[in-house]
Amino acid sequence: MKWNVKELKELIEDLDNDTEIVIESIVSGEERYCSDTSDVYFSEDSETGNKLLVFVPKDIEINNAETGRRYTELNDINGDDICEGMTVHQVSVLTGSEEIDFTGEIKFYDGTWYIDNGSDAKPLFSESCENTIIES
Q: Are residues 79 and 129 in the same domain?
A: yes
CATH of the domain at 122: 2.30.30
Residue 66 lies in a domain: no
Q: Are residues 122 and 77 in the same domain?
A: yes
The total of structural domains in the chain comes to 2
The model's pTM is 0.54
Who has greater pLDDT, 51 or 56? 51
Domain that holds residue 101: 71-135
* pLDDT reported for residue 10: 75
In this prediction, residue 23 carries a pLDDT of 60
What is the pLDDT confidence band of residue 75, given thresholds at 50, 70 and 90? very high
Residue 16 within a domain:
yes
Q: Which residue pairs, CB below 8 angstroms and at least 24 apart, start in 47-56?
A: 53/12, 54/111, 55/23, 55/26, 56/111
Higher pLDDT, 88 or 41: 88
Position 18 confidence tier, pLDDT thresholds 50, 70, 90: confident
